[in-house]
A and B are shown apart, each in its own frame.
Chain A
Amino acid sequence: EAGVVQSPRYKIIEKKQPVAFWCNPISGHNTLYWYLQNLGQGPELLIRYENEEAVDDSQLPKDRFSAERLKGVDSTLKIQPAELGDSAVYLCASSETGAVGELFFGEGSRLTVL
């Protein structure tokens, strides 16, 4: 069974440019998370979806970040415009709704803003 798939794995952009990251969760997992991981730090939640509904987006900087999960499957995280401080790894994870168990993480998308 395929795991959580993210793309692109690496992205280098100039500041003020837009960037988008895509995530395909494990089949059947209705809960999807986007986490931000700065170098040498633990992951921090940006947004959590239950199906297509964003149920926890309090940590998402809404002035420049946006996310969507159309049809409750794939998700896209967008940054516009990117700032130097956005350089980090963006992790997507999924889990079974209502189940107490593990979050399955993708390999992440590493963003470098120059």
Chain B
Amino acid sequence: QQQVKQSPQSLIVQKGGISIINCAYENTAFDYFPWYQQFPGKGPALLIAIRPDVSEKKEGRFTISFNKSAKQFSLHIMDSQPGDSATYFCAASKAFSGYSTLTFGKGTMLLVSP
């Protein structure tokens, strides 16, 4: 059972454009939703995270939008840059309930063309 479903699998965006990646989850006990960024040959690194009591969180060019009733959340990358080219993973956990293990989506490979 895939608890976190991510789409699209890959994405090509022009420099300066908006990249949008979507995730849907099934377990309503999840209470922490981070996005991780992974470059080739590196481990995933935290990009931004949100709690379900907040509908939106913005950090620089990165924004998470959260829809609790639909059990969906998305990552928006504004003014996308070639350096943003990487694989992005959404994830979920029950961190505020003391269970910190992350369940990851399958990832989205983003390519920002110059």
In the complex, what's the smallest C-beta–C-beta distance from B11 to chain A, in angstroms?
14
In the complex, what's the smallest C-beta–C-beta distance from A78 to chain B, in angstroms?
20
Q: Is the interface of B mostly helix, strand, loop or mixed?
A: strand
Considering the complex, give the chain A residue whose CB is closest to the CB of B46. Answer: A102
Instruction: State whether B98 touches A43 (Cβ < 8 A).
Output: no
**Size of B's binding interface in residues, CB under 8 A:** 24
The interface bits of chain B over 42-62 (1 if a CB of A lies within 8 angstroms of the residue's CB, else 0) are 111110010000000000000
The interface bits of chain A over 41-76 (1 if a CB of B lies within 8 angstroms of the residue's CB, else 0) are 111110010000000100000000000000000000
Given known contacts A33-B101, A48-B101, A100-B96, A41 and B106 CB-to-CB distance under 8 angstroms:
yes
A95 to B89, CA, bound (A): 18
A100 to B49, CA, bound (A): 11
**Size of A's binding interface in residues, CB under 8 A:** 23
A107 to B45, CA, bound (A): 10
Instruction: State whether A93 touches B43 (Cβ < 8 A).
Output: yes
Chain A residues with CB under 8 Å of B4's CB are 42
Instruction: State whether B44 touches A105 (Cβ < 8 A).
Output: yes
The interface bits of chain B over 73-100 (1 if a CB of A lies within 8 angstroms of the residue's CB, else 0) are 0000000000000000101000110101
Instruction: State whether A107 touches B101 (Cβ < 8 A).
Output: no
Instruction: State whether B106 touches A42 (Cβ < 8 A).
Output: yes
Chain A residues with CB under 8 Å of B100's CB are 31, 48, 95, 100, 103
- Say whether A25 faces chain B, with CB atoms less than 8 Å apart: no
Most buried by A among B89, B98, B104: B104
